[in-house]
Chain A
Amino acid sequence: MSPRGARLLLAGFFALYTVALVLPWVVGADRIRPFVLGFPFALFWYALWVALAFPVLIAADRVLGRDGEG
Chain B
Amino acid sequence: MERWHIVTLVASGYLALALTVGLVAGRRATHSVTGYVAADRGFGLLAMYFVTGGTIFSAFAFLGGPGWAYSRGAAVFYILGYGVLGIAPWYFIGPRSARLGRRHGFVTQAQLLTARFPSRTLSALMALLSVAAFVPYLMLQMSGAGIVFNAVTEGHVPLWAGAALAYGVVVVYVLVGGASAVGWTNVFEGLVMMVVAWGLGIWLPYSLYGGVGEMFAQLEAARPELLAPPGLDAAGEPWSRGAYASSLLASAIGFAMWPHLFMKAFAARSEKVLRRTVVLFPTFQLFLIPLLLVGFAGVLFPTAPPEADFILPHMILETGMPALVVGLFCAGALAASMSTGDALLHGAASVAIEDGIAPFVRLSERARRHLMQLLVLGVGALAFYLAVVRRQSLVWLLLTAYGVVDQFAPPIYAALYWRRATTAGVVSGLAAGIVTDVFFLRYPGLRPWDLHEGILGIIVNTAVLVVVSLLTRPQSHAHTEVFVNPAPLNERTAGPVHAGGGA
Contact = CB atoms under 8 A, between A and B. Distances in A.
B242 to A, nearest CB: 11
Contact of A40 (B220, B276, B282): B220
B279 A57 contact: yes
B80 A39 contact: no
Nearest to B74: A42
A61 B74 contact: no
Interface stretch (B47-55, B283-291, B365-373, B459-467): B283-291
Contact of A54 (B224, B282, B490): B282
A50 B236 CA distance: 28
Interface stretch (B166-174, B211-219, B397-405, B436-444): B211-219
Nearest to A18: B85
Given A30-B228, A32-B227, A47-B80, A39 B488 contact: no
A42 B245 CA distance: 15
A10 B91 contact: yes
Given A25-B241, A70-B95, A65 B228 contact: no
Nearest to A35: B213
A42 to B, nearest CB: 5
Interface string A56-70: 011011001100111
B253 to A, nearest CB: 11
A22 B286 contact: no
Contact of A47 (B85, B224, B289, B490): B289
Interface in B218-243: 220, 224, 227-230, 241
Contact of B275 (A32, A47, A61): A61
A69 B489 contact: yes
A6 to B, nearest CB: 11
A69 B271 contact: yes
A35 B249 contact: no
A15 to B, nearest CB: 10
B239 to A, nearest CB: 12
Given A23-B245, A40-B220, A46 B282 contact: no
Nearest to A7: B92
B248 interface: yes
Contacts of A69: 99, 270-272, 488-490
Which of B88, B99, B274, B286: most chain A CB closer than 10 A?
Answer: B88
B105 interface: no
B77 interface: yes
Q: At the interface, is chain A mostly helix, strand, loop or mixed?
A: helix
Contacts of B77: 21, 24, 42-43, 46
B84 interface: yes
Interface string A27-59: 000111101011110110011011101100110
Name, among A31, A35, A42, A57, the residue most crowded by chain B CB atoms within 10 Å (CB to CB). Answer: A57
B279 A25 contact: no
A60 B249 CA distance: 23
B192 interface: no
A39 B281 CA distance: 22
B305 interface: no
A12 to B, nearest CB: 12
B81 interface: yes
B375 interface: no
A40 B227 contact: yes
Contact of A30 (B84, B229, B292): B229
B216 A39 contact: yes
A48 to B, nearest CB: 11
A51 B281 CA distance: 10
B285 A50 contact: yes
Q: Which 9 A-B pairs have the closest CB atoms?
A: A38-B213, A70-B272, A38-B212, A21-B81, A70-B271, A54-B282, A57-B279, A40-B227, A32-B227
Interface of A: 10, 14, 17-18, 21-25, 30-33, 35, 37-40, 42-43, 46-47, 49-51, 53-54, 57-58, 60-61, 64-65, 68-70
20 contacts: A14-B88, A17-B84, A18-B85, A22-B81, A25-B229, A30-B230, A35-B217, A38-B214, A40-B228, A46-B80, A47-B80, A50-B80, A53-B84, A53-B88, A54-B283, A57-B91, A60-B91, A65-B276, A69-B488, A70-B272
Given A49-B84, A51-B286, A61-B279, 17 more contacts: A14-B85, A17-B85, A21-B77, A31-B228, A32-B220, A35-B217, A37-B213, A38-B213, A38-B216, A39-B212, A42-B74, A43-B80, A50-B286, A54-B283, A57-B278, A69-B272, A70-B275
